[in-house]
Structure 1
Amino acid sequence: MITTLLALALQAVTIPDAPQQPVLEPEERLEARLQALQSAEEGEAADIAQEVLALWADADSATIDLLMERGEEALIAGEADLAARMFDHVNRLEPDFAEGWLRSAQIAQARQDWEFSLQALNRALTLEPRRFDAFYLLGRTLEQANRPEAALEAYEQALEIYPAYELAEQNAARIRARLRGRTL
């Protein structure tokens, strides 16, 4: 009896259809989020940037995702050699995956291997020229190589893509001030 009453009640209730949002392919979503990043306010921009980074980190391959995860875990555990091996495997298996090259560049920078860091960053930026995080890391690497003008250019590239990128802005401002001091 209760089931019959419930069935009748459910038939009488009409739930309006929710408007259907189009399902975007990952590249379309990435493009939309990068466009949103251009005009986003600082707080919102950080959330959008994290979403963009997550989209870039998705390899669409269980093997690559596992290697990346193990590499990240090794970095957190302070095992840079193991992390470097994991990211090297990623780069060999999926040479067109910019995230693997970026992670390799980060490790190379930490080891002060500027040459390999620059090569890996060049590869990452060739594969994905919208990588604001790669431009930021390039700026840091160029600063370490005592090339402030080139570092400033890299930070400015990052800011063109992600105008509210606080770390890039701070570093760019510091270099601008230092370069102005040279000309006085």
Structure 2
Amino acid sequence: MILFTSSVFSFENSAKADQKDNRLPVLFNNLLQAPPGPYSIIIENKIWEIWLESADPKITDLMTRASKATQSKKYTEALDQYTKVIQHNPNYAEGWNKRALVNYLIGNYEKSLSDINRTLTLEPRHFGAISGQGLIYSAQKKWTLAKKSFAKALCIHPNMEGPKLNLKILSTQDIEAEI
């Protein structure tokens, strides 16, 4: 079974806000009401941009380095850089989320879930982290938890293609009993 993973994480960087930005409530409300298509994608991208913003140039620099390392599949370096982000500002949700991504990519599912939980403590609306959680549960064959995660992501971002497709796959597959 192959699960769709796009729209889970983004690699763009900016430099001003974070998950506490006062623009986010309106964007999330608009996301709930947006029809599928370009408008929804524009809103999603704006949310990602805000989540990645930081007024701290050190965070911006570390996130840029970590993102480049992730894109180059230099996962040890990426983990190191994201850990430095977290150490520098443990309340910056996107540092935790991006480290969760790298841990997922290298198969460290429990560490990834731990980072996702911290991300969601800081930003409970983080549809990317919630969808990533579903991917991990799917990889662990925890089908019920995976379905719940994908459904929760869709409650926040109803047009997110990855969770929609993953729910469809999970509902049409003959899934063995959970481990």
Q: How does 1:115-126 map to 2 (within 5 A)?
A: 115-126=110-121
AA aligned to 2:36 is E
If the length of structure 1 is used for normalisation, what is the TM-score?
A: 0.81
Instruction: State the identity %.
Output: 26
Q: Answer yes or no: is the 8 Å Cα contact 2:75–2:106 preserved in 1.
A: no
AA aligned to 1:85 is D
CA distance in 1, matches of 2:154, 2:58: 33
AA aligned to 1:41 is P
Gaps of 5+ in 2: 1-19
Gaps of 5+ in 1: 1-25
AA aligned to 1:161 is I
Query: How far is the alpha carbon of 1:108 from its aligned partner?
Result: 0.7
Give the counterpart of 2:25 among 13, 27, 31.
31
Please give the per-residue CA displacement for 1:58-93, whole angstroms capped at 9, x wherever unaligned: 122111011000100111222111111100000111
CA distance in 2, matches of 1:116, 1:181: 25
Q: Using CA pairs below 8 Å that are at least 6 residues apart, which structure has the higher relative contact order? A: 2
RMSD: 1.6
Query: How far is the alpha carbon of 1:178 from its aligned partner?
Result: 2.6
If the length of structure 2 is used for normalisation, what is the TM-score?
A: 0.84
Q: Which runs of 4+ in 1 moved over 6 A?
A: 179-182
Query: How far is the alpha carbon of 1:56 from its aligned partner?
Result: 0.6
AA aligned to 1:29 is R
- Give 1 or 2: higher helix fraction: 1
Give the counterpart of 2:145 among 128, 146, 150.
150
Residue-pair matches, total: 157
Change (3 A) 1:66 1:152: same
